[in-house]
C-alpha cells in the first residue's frame, strides 16, 4: 500500500475513533468510572485490514486527543489504552487473515487477555485512584470483570459483522494494484 494512503487512513480512523469515544456511558452503577464506548472497534478494524501496529497507532492518537479535548484524566486514559492494547494485539495477531476459526479464537483470547489483565491492573490502580482499601476493590472485582467481558464481547461482535466490508472499502483494488 502506498504510504500516503496508509497515513490518510490512520488519520481518518483515529479521528472517527476520537469522535465516537464521546458516546461513552457506564454499564454498571457500582463501577460507573468504567465507561463503554465503541472507539476501540475502529482500531480493531484497521488492525484486521492492515496490522496490529496500525491499530495501536489509531488507539494512541484517539486516547491522546480524548485526553487533551475531553477527559484530562491521565489514569483513565492510560487504563483505556491498556485495555484496548490487551484486546487488539492478541485478537489481530491470532486472526492474521487466516479464516473464521482463527478469527473466533482471536476474539476469545483477546477478550480473556483484556478482562484478566485489566482485573489485575485495576487491583493495583483503583486503591490509589479512589483511595479505597484493597478489600473494597475486591468487592468491585466481579463488576470490573463483567464490564471488560461485556465491552470486548460487543466490540468483537460488531467487528466480526463489519470487518470484511470495511476491508472491501479500504482495499477495493488491492489485487489489481499488486500486479502493477
Ligand atoms: N477501561 C476499560 O476498558 N477497562 C478497564 O478495566 C478500565 N479501568 C479503569 C480504571 C480506572 C480507575 C479509570 C479511571 C478508568 C478505567 N478505564 C477502563 C477507562 C474508562 O472506562 C474510560 O474509558 C476512561 O476513563 C475515559 O473516560
What does the DSSP assignment read for 128-174? HHHT--HHHHHHHHHHHHHHHHHHHHHHHHHHHHHHHHHHHHH-TTH
- Read off the pLDDT band of 3 (50, 70, 90): confident
Structure confidence at residue 93 (pLDDT): 98
What is the DSSP code (8-state) at residue 25?
E
**Mean pLDDT, residues 11-38:** 98
- Protein residue closest via CA to atom 1 of ligand 1: 80
Cell digits of residue 38: 465503541
Q: What is the pTM of this model?
A: 0.95
CATH among 1.10.1760.20, 3.40.50.720, 3.50.50.60, 3.40.50.300 for 4-22+37-171 = 1.10.1760.20
pLDDT higher than 50, residue 141: yes
Does the beta carbon of 75 lie inside 6 Å of ligand 1? yes
Question: Which segment of 2-6, 52-56, 130-134, 173-177 scores lowest on mean pLDDT?
Answer: 173-177
- Read off the pLDDT band of 180 (50, 70, 90): very low
Residue matched to cell numbers 485495576: 122
Does the beta carbon of 163 lie inside 6 Å of ligand 1? no
80 CA distance to ligand 1 middle (Å): 5
Q: Where are the domains of the chain?
A: 4-22+37-171
Main-chain phi, psi angles of 25, to 5 degrees:
-150, 150
Residues 180 and 52: their CA atoms lie apart, in Å, by 26
List Cα–Cα distances, 178 to 1, 6, 9, 163, 172, in angstroms.
Answer: 9, 16, 19, 21, 12
What does the DSSP assignment read for 34-95? SEE-THHHHHHHHHHHT-HHHHHHHHHHHHHHHIIIII--HHHHHHHHHHHHHHHHHHHHHH
| Burial classification of residue 68, based on how many CB atoms lie within 10 Å of its CB (0-12 exposed, 13-18 middle, 19 or more buried) | exposed
pLDDT higher than 80, residue 178: no
Amino acid at each position: 500500500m502506498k504510504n500516503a494512503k496508509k497515513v490518510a487512513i490512520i488519520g481518518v480512523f483515529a479521528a472517527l475513533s476520537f469522535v465516537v469515544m464521546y458516546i461513552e456511558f457506564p454499564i454498571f452503577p457500582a463501577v460507573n468510572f468504567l465507561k463503554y464506548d465503541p472507539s476501540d472497534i475502529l482500531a480493531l478494524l484497521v488492525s484486521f485490514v492492515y496490522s496490529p501496529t496500525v491499530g495501536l497507532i489509531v488507539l494512541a492518537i484517539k486516547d491522546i486527543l480524548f485526553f487533551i479535548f475531553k477527559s484530562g484524566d491521565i489514569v483513565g486514559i492510560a487504563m483505556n489504552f491498556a485495555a484496548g492494547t490487551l484486546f487488539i494485539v492478541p485478537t489481530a495477531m491470532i486472526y492474521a487473515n487466516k479464516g473464521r476459526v482463527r478469527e473466533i479464537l482471536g476474539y476469545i483470547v483477546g477478550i480473556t487477555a483484556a478482562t484478566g489483565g485489566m482485573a489485575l491492573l485495576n487491583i493495583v490502580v483503583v486503591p490509589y485512584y479512589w483511595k479505597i482499601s484493597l478489600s473494597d476493590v475486591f468487592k468491585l472485582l466481579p463488576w470490573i470483570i463483567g464490564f471488560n467481558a461485556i465491552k470486548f464481547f460487543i466490540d468483537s461482535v460488531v467487528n466480526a459483522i463489519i470487518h470484511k466490508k470495511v476491508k472491501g472499502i479500504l482495499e477495493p483494488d488491492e489485487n489489481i494494484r499488486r500486479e502493477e
